[in-house]
């Protein structure tokens, strides 16, 4: 790993700024770490372990100077489902496997590919996750008793409905106090960590006003240890690895997406540029090491990263200090954390869910009423009603299909001829009409990508003209930016079909990428370099040299400037004053016309 640029010019003043920002973010991360762990179905201390270990490693090894890593809300539904289905031990193994996948993705330089996931998909599953998180905190907020947790959203909502009669007024009051402080403090004192103040104040009031009346971390999960756990390697078997590959892949993909999104936000706020592949490697190493100490999967946290930057962070050292602050609090204050009411944790996660919902972006995409709106709604609904894995897969598939449809709709194939009224005699589609269309030269302008989604339209649009057996088929490819093997196959079929009845195909304006495909496939050699031109005028001039001139005699289409002479060249006087010229005479006359054409053909576009 190169450290160039990350600590250049670092000095005592930089360290002071990093200490302030690290302390600020560390204080914010403490309640979030515990809350995310509880919502994920594991003990709160596991969130603290993750914040310490993964937070330090992501800052040191990642590709963003300001990234703050740790447990995040985006992981909650996924981790909870894994814990419910496989158990905590297998969650640790899944985290290690996901870390290995992230490292491999970084080494294979796949960081840029993750950014190609359509934004409607990202917004859709993020909003869906926010709904799941918010709804999942309702039982703790209301102090409901006897609520059983399920993997699916509908079952959890049904549980809440069935147990609404068990509302605990003390829990509701505790949660309301915490929520009020979280919402009001940023307006009164923006620099004060509102979530921590809300957590502490509501906990103290609950312990003073109605002790023993609300469920606490200690009563639900036991006392929080005041130190990091010993190094522990989860039991690894081939069967467990195979069964956890899919959950691990989901963790890796979501972690990669979330971390790179966070890094992009940091770039926008600071004017810096992150290294996406290094970021994946750093995230991967952190997720391999953290589970060895009981930590859950971690990724870049957008809100904490933004807070880190606003607090004056200068280097990755702020992220390291943030992890050390959390460790210090764990050692000193762990016994007191056991008395925190679960009702005090619920508002924190509800606010996190509200902030991560991207409601403004959601409504903006929805209001466009485009295909992106459909992708957004599908991804969102499937995230809520099924799971994130299926939602992302379905969203990506629909986005790809709609993209292919849009790209295929962009392809246009138009038969064209020169417009004599244009200064440079540009070829235009409106010049082709009944009675004005050269029987021997068919010329088409193709615009748009020539790929599998549009190749059939390309072939079908030209084939009708080819059935008339023109001597020359001119294809203007100057506005074809991309060609795949399917497009090349359709073009090959067309070339062979024309050659089969003695005709030839001329190409003009071929762009670099399609030209490379033609060369690799062998079609370039089959067509012949002498039949591929830079300009349309050159192709028309060449086409006029290879006509069946006897077919031009008497033709009144006058598709090209030269047609007037070619049509009348045979009407030469003979012994009786009538009759037609010989083919030799026609050829001589045409050669004279070809000389004139060569002087002007380059004017045609």
Nearest to 560 by CA among 597, 535, 590: 597
Mean per-residue pLDDT of the chain: 88
- CA distances, 529 to each of 505, 534, 541, 597, 605 (Å): 11, 11, 16, 22, 20
Q: What pLDDT score was predicted for residue 310?
A: 87
Nearest to 54 by CA among 323, 240, 280: 323
Q: What pLDDT score was predicted for residue 514?
A: 95
Whether the per-residue pLDDT at 33 is higher than 80: the answer is yes
Highest mean pLDDT among 181-185, 469-473, 499-503: 181-185
Residue 132 to residue 531: CA distance in whole angstroms: 62
pLDDT per position as a tens digit, 239-258: 999 999 999 999 999 999 88
**Residue 81 backbone phi and psi in degrees, to 5:** -65, -40
Q: Burial, 240: exposed, middle or buried (Cβ in 10 Å; 0-12, 13-18, 19+)?
A: middle
| Weakest-pLDDT range from 211-220, 343-352, 395-404, 453-462 | 453-462
User: Looking up tokens 């099924």, which residue turns up?
Assistant: 386
Residue 602 to residue 598: CA distance in whole angstroms: 8
Mean pLDDT of 541-564: 86
Highest mean pLDDT among 215-229, 427-441, 445-459, 524-538: 524-538
Nearest to 265 by CA among 83, 526, 66: 66
Q: What pLDDT score was predicted for residue 356?
A: 87
User: Confidence class of residue 335 from pLDDT cuts 50, 70 and 90?
Assistant: confident
Q: What pLDDT score was predicted for residue 163?
A: 94
Whether the per-residue pLDDT at 573 is higher than 50: the answer is no
The domain over range 412-603 is classified in CATH as 3.30.750.24: yes
Q: What pLDDT score was predicted for residue 551?
A: 84
Whether the per-residue pLDDT at 582 is higher than 50: the answer is no
State the DSSP H helix or E strand holding residue 505, giving kind and residue range, or none if neither.
strand 504-508
Residue 28 to residue 197: CA distance in whole angstroms: 10
Q: What pLDDT score was predicted for residue 5?
A: 61
Higher pLDDT, 10 or 383: 383
Domain spans, the chain: 13-358, 412-603
Nearest to 540 by CA among 588, 503, 511, 508: 508
User: Confidence class of residue 193 from pLDDT cuts 50, 70 and 90?
Assistant: confident
Which token pair is 227?
A: 């130190």
Nearest to 42 by CA among 34, 51, 52: 34
Whether the per-residue pLDDT at 379 is higher than 70: the answer is yes
Nearest to 234 by CA among 94, 119, 127, 362: 94
Residue 542 DSSP code: H
Whether the per-residue pLDDT at 278 is higher than 50: the answer is yes
- CA distances, 406 to each of 34, 370, 454 (Å): 46, 11, 10
Whether the per-residue pLDDT at 600 is higher than 50: the answer is no
Q: What pLDDT score was predicted for residue 6?
A: 66
Mean pLDDT of 401-424: 88
Whether the per-residue pLDDT at 363 is higher than 90: the answer is yes
Q: What pLDDT score was predicted for residue 505?
A: 94
Mean pLDDT of 194-223: 92
Q: What pLDDT score was predicted for residue 596?
A: 45
pLDDT per position as a tens digit, 474-488: 999 999 999 999 999
Whether the per-residue pLDDT at 264 is higher than 90: the answer is no
CB contact at 8 A, 357 and 127: yes
Mean pLDDT of 360-378: 94
Which are the contacts of 132, defined by CB distance < 8 A and separation ≥ 6?
76, 77, 153, 383, 384
Residue 513 to residue 16: CA distance in whole angstroms: 53
pLDDT per position as a tens digit, 133-177: 999 999 999 999 999 888 889 999 999 999 999 999 999 999 999
Which are the contacts of 408, defined by CB distance < 8 A and separation ≥ 6?
453, 454, 457
Q: What pLDDT score was predicted for residue 555?
A: 86
Mean pLDDT of 55-75: 94
Which token pair is 240?
A: 């467990």
Residue 238 to residue 602: CA distance in whole angstroms: 69
pLDDT per position as a tens digit, 95-123: 999 999 999 999 999 887 776 788 899 89
User: Confidence class of residue 585 from pLDDT cuts 50, 70 and 90?
Assistant: very low
CB contact at 8 A, 355 and 302: no
**What sign does the dihedral 161-167-173-174 (CA atoms) show?**
negative
- CA distances, 482 to each of 338, 400, 415, 444 (Å): 62, 17, 20, 17
User: Confidence class of residue 372 from pLDDT cuts 50, 70 and 90?
Assistant: very high
Q: Whole-prediction pTM value? A: 0.77
pLDDT per position as a tens digit, 300-330: 998 899 889 988 899 999 999 999 999 999 9
């Amino acid at each position: 790993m190169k450290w160039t640029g990350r600590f250049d010019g670092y000095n005592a003043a930089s360290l002071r700024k990093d200490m302030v920002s690290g302390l600020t973010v560390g204080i914010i991360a403490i309640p979030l770490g515990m809350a995310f762990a509880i919502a994920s179905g594991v003990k709160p201390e596991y969130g603290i372990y993750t914040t310490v270990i993964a937070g330090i490693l992501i800052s040191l090894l990642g590709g963003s100077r300001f990234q703050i890593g740790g447990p995040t809300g985006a992981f909650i539904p996924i981790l909870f489902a894994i814990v419910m289905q496989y158990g905590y031990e297998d969650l640790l193994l899944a985290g290690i496997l996901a870390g290995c996948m992230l490292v491999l993705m970084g080494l294979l330089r796949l960081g840029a590919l993750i950014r190609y996931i359509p934004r409607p998909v990202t917004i859709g599953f993020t909003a869906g996750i926010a709904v799941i998180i918010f709804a999942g905190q309702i039982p703790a907020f209301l102090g409901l008793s006897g609520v059983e947790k399920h993997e699916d959203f509908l079952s959890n909502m049904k549980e809440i409905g069935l147990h609404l009669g068990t509302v605990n007024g003390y829990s509701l009051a505790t949660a309301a106090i915490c929520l009020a402080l979280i919402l009001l403090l940023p307006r009164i004192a923006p620099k004060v960590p509102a979530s921590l103040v809300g957590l502490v104040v509501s906990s103290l009031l609950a312990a003073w006003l109605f002790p023993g009346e609300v469920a606490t971390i200690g009563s639900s999960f036991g006392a929080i240890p005041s130190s990091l756990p010993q190094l522990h390697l989860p039991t690894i078997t081939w069967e467990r690895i195979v069964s956890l590959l899919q959950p691990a892949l989901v963790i890796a993909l979501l972690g990669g997406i979330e971390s790179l999104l966070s890094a992009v936000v940091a770039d926008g706020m600071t004017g810096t540029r992150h290294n996406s592949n290094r970021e994946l490697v750093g995230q991967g190493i952190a997720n391999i090491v953290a589970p060895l100490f009981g930590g859950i999967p971690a990724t870049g946290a957008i809100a904490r990263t933004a807070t880190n930057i606003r607090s004056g962070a200068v280097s990755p050292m702020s992220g390291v200090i943030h992890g050390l602050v959390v460790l210090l609090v764990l050692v000193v204050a762990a016994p007191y954390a056991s008395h925190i009411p679960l009702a005090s944790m619920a508002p924190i996660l509800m606010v996190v869910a509200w902030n991560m919902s991207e409601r403004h972006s959601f409504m903006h995409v929805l209001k466009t009423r485009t295909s992106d709106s459909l992708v957004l709604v599908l991804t969102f609904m499937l995230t809520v009603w099924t799971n994130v894995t299926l939602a992302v897969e379905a969203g990506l598939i629909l986005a790809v299909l709609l993209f292919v449809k849009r790209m295929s709709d962009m392809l246009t194939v138009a038969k064209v001829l020169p417009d004599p009224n244009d200064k440079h005699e540009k070829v235009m589609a409106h010049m082709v009409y009944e009675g004005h269309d050269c029987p021997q030269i068919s010329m088409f302008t193709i615009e748009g990508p020539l790929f599998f989604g549009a190749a059939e339209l390309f072939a079908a649009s030209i084939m009708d003209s080819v059935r008339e057996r023109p001597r020359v088929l001119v294809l203007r490819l100057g506005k074809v930016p991309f060609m795949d093997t399917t497009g090349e196959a359709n073009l090959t079929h067309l070339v062979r079909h024309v050659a089969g009845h003695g005709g030839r195909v001329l190409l003009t304006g071929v762009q670099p990428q399609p030209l490379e495909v033609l060369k690799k496939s062998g079609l370039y050699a089959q067509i012949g370099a002498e039949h591929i031109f830079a300009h349309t005028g050159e192709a028309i001039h060449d086409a006029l040299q290879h006509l069946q001139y006897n077919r031009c005699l008497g033709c009144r289409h006058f598709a090209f400037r030269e047609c007037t002479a070619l049509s009348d060249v045979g009407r030469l006087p003979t012994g009786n004053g009538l009759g037609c010229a010989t083919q030799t005479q026609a050829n001589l006359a045409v050669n004279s016309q070809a000389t004139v054409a060569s002087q002007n053909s380059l004017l045609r576009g």
